[in-house]
Structure 1
Amino acid sequence: MTSSGGAEAAKSPLLERNAAAAEGWLNKVIDVEEAKDQIFFALPLILTNVAYYFIPLVSVMFAGHLGELELAGSNLANSWAAVTGFALMVGLSGALETLCGQGFGAKMYRMLGIYLQASCIITLIFTIAVSVLWWYSDIVLTLLHQEPQIAKAAGLYLKYLIPGLFAYGILQNILRFLQTQSVIIPLVVCSLVPLALHVGIAYALVHWTTLEYKGAPLAASISLWISVLMLGLYVLKAKKFEETWEGFSSESLSHTFTNLKIALPSAAMVCLEYWAFEILVLLAGLMPNSEITTSLVAMCVNTEAISYMIAYGLSAAASTRVSNELGAGNPNRARRAMAVTLKLTILLALCVVLALFFGHNLWASLFSDSPVIINAFATMTPLLVLSILCDFVQGILSGVARGCGWQHLAVYINLGTYYLIGMPIAALLGFKFKLHAKGLWIGLICGLTVQMIGLLLLTKFTKWTRIEFSHDSAHKILEEDV
């Protein structure tokens, strides 16, 4: 017993030294504490993002079971809603990632509520404009050479989704307001609960009322408003927001223009990227065997979108950490936080692409039972792996750009890489060299790669900035060499 105890005592310092050495080596590779914080921050945001993605999707599923016309109409409406409305709302709210994030870091807490109100005013104006477009979407879609019956069904669906657009715009602003304060668990609750309720609401409106097809989009609108009310009540009642939300103020009107100068480039960043993927689907429809090619490209686009939801959590973490540190006047810590996020992203991306590489047939079978399409998807998988890797990295760098307030620079990168490089190469390889779906996706990879490089150069050579708030609530951008 004594000799055994002595041996253990002799070994314990060695074990402690080994553990310390291992921990020291790991800290050299990555800041462990920073990585833990970002992972715990990102995971709830991933769940939140997925929940809000599925609310309109569940409505499409219920509508699709009513018949082929309803399936086609609801899918077309959902795509049109994402392209013209939902993506725009996400982009406009990106201004708060800069303003609220840096304001919170600078401890100018009162300004967060002011900027939230200013952003909601901007969102309301754009939502009214998009609502007019949605109201006449059947005419617009017919002019875009969609089947008249399907266009009419999509137009009807969108009319009942208009209330949901108003809710979605406000929702995105509240999400950014909370995210920049590192308040994330309530976001999960206020997204998963409405999603669970949504299934019941959609079923009831579609099958238990005379609304039927119209009940599906109306259910999505109701569920999104439930989420807005839950989050709104939380902000109003929780004591932790006493400093950041002091009630409605007319002062927000004076900050609307400042917010708009960041919101418009931010919206352009998101929309330009989103539209590029939709253009690929449209180009696929112009090719020989368009049904197979369109289905294949649409599957790849959906796979990329679902994968990006995972990266979005870390992108939001990067944006929040960078904006908070810059607001606090710590640009070097902001850079370190970005470096940690990039390392985590690469690890996460490798896990995703490995799962896709080995399970592509199983994944493809969820979309289609056709052996032709499943085999074609297998040939696309190596290209899809490359695009996902690039998309993960550029997603984090885009988050850094939002945190720093570089949206006006990033929008030029997105415009040039997707529309002057990616789409022309896609069209050339797809049509001229007859590579079809592979050619389209290679063009996209070219665009993503150059975009990633452009954003890397932006973070490397652009002067990092912070927002400096004065006592009269005005602010200006101060440049700091890093």
Structure 2
Amino acid sequence: MQELEKTTKDKIKMLNTNSDGDGATATAPLLEEAARNRGGGGGGGGGRWWRKVLDLEEAKNQVLFSLPMILTNVFYYAIPLVSAMFAGHLGNLELAGATLANSWATITGFAFMTGLSGALETLCGQGFGAKQYRMLGIYLQASCIVSFLFSIVVSICWFYSEPILILLQQDPDISKTAAFYLRYLIPGLFAYGISQNILRFLQTQSIVMPLVFLSALPMALHFGISYALVHWASLGFKGAPLAASVSLWISMLLLAVYILCSKKFEPTWQGFSSESFSFILAYLKLAMPSAAMVCLEYWAFEILVLLAGLMPNSELTTSLIAMCENTETIAYMITYGLSAAASTRVSNEYGAGNLEQAKSAMVVTLKLSVFLALIVVLTLAFGHNIWAGFFSDNPEIIKEFASLTPLLAISITLDSMPGVLSGVARGGGWQHLAMYANLATFYFIGMPIAGLLGFKLNLYARGLWIGLICGLFAQNCILLLITLCKNWRTKMDIPIVNREKETQVETHNCI
């Protein structure tokens, strides 16, 4: 009995602190305890039978990890969306311009910055698993430098977005309004990029619960800031994007202050260092494929909306595709939380050399993603008319959306697994393979089929979405094939600082 109590106390102590051999300590992964308990206990044949279907302990911990990430993602997604809503109440032209600007900002800026930060899921995740805690802060600084530089490039694109939008066959007046909106959203882009890097820095250390508060507070303040700038300050239309920029900066500063003031980050954040500049090229090798992987999928959905606008009954078709796209995005937010859990578990175990644990965690996440997708599908099947009513009061649109619901259910189910497998790719450091998979499946399979069915066979919105389903099915097959055939024991070089001579850089194997 005393030996059992001692073992339990040792486990709790290991969960709270880890030592890297030179006196540095860091918070252990939240999900690490489940990994340690794998194979131990369980209580009889019934427990073993359930474990074959789903590791309940691992699943419970992954859900507890995923929920805060889902909420955090929703809050960040909602800040620019709320600003667009405030702008939309000023008039129809303002609504159209703000909506177009928000969509353009997402696919060219926000999604790109989110993708760039994905490199930290590999570097920080594996570095933390290998107990190279000091390197997490170096990687974070390198990522912020890269995000800042790319924010300048994207800002130039946003500043001169009017001719680009007109070239894409958008209405000139709406394009002008959207470009005006984007110019005042530029400051928020810099804050958003840095925030995403900090989020990955915390996520890879399994510190997720504080993120809910640190993202919910700016979101709550954003309503007041938006109302104040749009109405009280008489800034009108320009006040909406300015409010988004202010709120994004507040969020970024809260995250930064949390890291600087919390003692738990002493091992992983040891102050600013010029060494981070030497890791920029190494960071870019992972960041660019990661960004491309995310953007290629985002762009595929936006291309569908553009194609819908070229069809005979463009107003109806565009509305239907936009409704389906928004529904898919909301469903994907659930997958995103599981993707973050998969990335963290795989990268931490990968860095620690526990390859079997990494694979086991991935299998649990895949099962959870399919299970949660089925819950969303069932909810949509019974409540599709209610959901469509949130978008429009038009009976024809509600009826057409009902006919598209079975196809939407298929796409949501198919989209659940790639999200997790993409997280596994980020955790393992093979983003480039996932990038090639997304390029091939969406642009050489999905989009051509969508164009053929939508325009040549006159299936219109159904044809476009069937083409997307074909792309998602191919994406599932290829990503699953990559994951199964990938040699998980292939060594990946992660750059670290030599502990004895910290001015020199050496290549260290984390696996």
2:294 equivalent in structure 1: 270
Comparing 455-464 and 468-477, the one that deviates more: 468-477
Q: Secondary structure at the match of 1:475?
A: strand
Amino acid at match of 1:69: L
Aligned match of 2:91 in 67, 70, 82?
67
Deviations 1:385-433 (A, max 9, x none): 1110111111000000000001111111100000000000000000011
Deviations 1:137-172 (A, max 9, x none): 122222322222111111111011000000100010
Question: Alpha carbons of 1:97 and 1:184: their partners in 2 closer, same or farther (altered >3 Å)?
Answer: same
Alignment of 1:80-95 (within 5 A): 80-95=104-119
How far apart in 2 are the matches of 1:475 and 1:86? 32
How far apart in 2 are the matches of 1:322 and 1:248? 28
- Alpha-carbon offset, residue 319 of structure 1: 0.3
Are residues 1:176 and 2:204 paired?
Answer: no
Is this contact kept in 1: 2:290–2:426, CA < 8 A? yes
2:416 equivalent in structure 1: 392
Amino acid at match of 1:474: E
Are residues 1:55 and 2:79 paired?
Answer: yes
Is this contact kept in 2: 1:114–1:252, CA < 8 A? yes
Is this contact kept in 2: 1:111–1:473, CA < 8 A? no
Alignment of 1:99-118 (within 5 A): 99-118=123-142
Deviations 1:228-248 (A, max 9, x none): 000000000101100100111
Deviations 1:167-209 (A, max 9, x none): 1000100000000000001111111000000000001111101
1:474 equivalent in structure 2: 506
- Alpha-carbon offset, residue 19 of structure 1: 7.7
Deviations 1:12-32 (A, max 9, x none): xxxxxx984433322222112
How far apart in 1 are the matches of 2:184 and 2:90? 17
- Alpha-carbon offset, residue 34 of structure 1: 1.0
How far apart in 2 are the matches of 1:435 and 1:228? 46
How far apart in 1 are the matches of 2:118 and 2:97? 31
Amino acid at match of 2:182: L
How far apart in 2 are the matches of 1:383 and 1:195? 33
2:321 equivalent in structure 1: 297
Equivalenced residues, count: 462
Q: Secondary structure at the match of 1:474?
A: strand
Alignment of 1:405-424 (within 5 A): 405-424=429-448
Are residues 1:211 and 2:243 paired?
Answer: no
2:58 equivalent in structure 1: 34
Deviations 1:74-133 (A, max 9, x none): 001001101110110000000000000000000000100000111111111110001011
Are residues 1:446 and 2:479 paired?
Answer: no
Q: Secondary structure at the match of 2:335?
A: helix
Aligned match of 1:248 in 272, 277, 286?
272
- Report % sequence identity: 67
Are residues 1:456 and 2:484 paired?
Answer: no
Aligned match of 2:309 in 260, 281, 285?
285
Are residues 1:325 and 2:349 paired?
Answer: yes
Comparing 116-125 and 26-35, the one that deviates more: 26-35
How far apart in 2 are the matches of 1:298 and 1:225? 29
Aligned match of 1:432 in 449, 452, 456?
456
Q: Secondary structure at the match of 1:288?
A: coil
2:149 equivalent in structure 1: 125
Is this contact kept in 1: 2:418–2:475, CA < 8 A? yes
Is this contact kept in 2: 1:48–1:191, CA < 8 A? yes
How far apart in 1 are the matches of 2:359 and 2:386? 40
Amino acid at match of 1:442: I
Are residues 1:151 and 2:175 paired?
Answer: yes
How far apart in 1 are the matches of 2:509 and 2:287? 16
The root-mean-square deviation of aligned C-alpha atoms, in Å, is 1.4
How far apart in 2 are the matches of 1:320 and 1:235? 19
Q: Secondary structure at the match of 1:389?
A: helix
1:309 equivalent in structure 2: 333
Is this contact kept in 1: 2:58–2:361, CA < 8 A? yes
Aligned match of 2:364 in 340, 344, 349?
340
Question: Alpha carbons of 1:153 and 1:31: their partners in 2 closer, same or farther (altered >3 Å)?
Answer: same
How far apart in 1 are the matches of 2:355 and 2:505? 22
- Alpha-carbon offset, residue 467 of structure 1: 4.5
Is this contact kept in 2: 1:98–1:404, CA < 8 A? yes
Is this contact kept in 1: 2:135–2:497, CA < 8 A? no
How far apart in 1 are the matches of 2:407 and 2:446? 14
How far apart in 2 are the matches of 1:347 and 1:151? 42
**Long gaps (5+) in structure 1:** 1-17
How far apart in 1 are the matches of 2:209 and 2:505? 30
How far apart in 1 are the matches of 2:85 and 2:352? 46
- Alpha-carbon offset, residue 136 of structure 1: 1.1
- Alpha-carbon offset, residue 466 of structure 1: 4.6
How far apart in 2 are the matches of 1:159 and 1:45? 29
How far apart in 2 are the matches of 1:466 and 1:260? 15
Comparing 135-144 and 262-271, the one that deviates more: 135-144
How far apart in 1 are the matches of 2:122 and 2:414? 24
Alignment of 1:191-210 (within 5 A): 191-210=215-234
Deviations 1:234-291 (A, max 9, x none): 0001011001001111100000000000000000000000000000000000111100
Amino acid at match of 1:276: A
Question: Alpha carbons of 1:154 and 1:470: their partners in 2 closer, same or farther (altered >3 Å)?
Answer: closer
- Alpha-carbon offset, residue 450 of structure 1: 0.5
Amino acid at match of 1:28: K
User: Where is the helix percentage greater, Structure 1 or Structure 2?
Assistant: 1
Is this contact kept in 2: 1:178–1:184, CA < 8 A? yes
- Alpha-carbon offset, residue 473 of structure 1: 4.5
1:10 equivalent in structure 2: none
TM-score under structure 1 length normalisation: 0.94
2:281 equivalent in structure 1: 257
Over 4 Å off, 4+ runs:
18-21, 465-470
- Alpha-carbon offset, residue 477 of structure 1: 6.0
Is this contact kept in 1: 2:311–2:455, CA < 8 A? yes
Question: Alpha carbons of 1:477 and 1:420: their partners in 2 closer, same or farther (altered >3 Å)?
Answer: farther
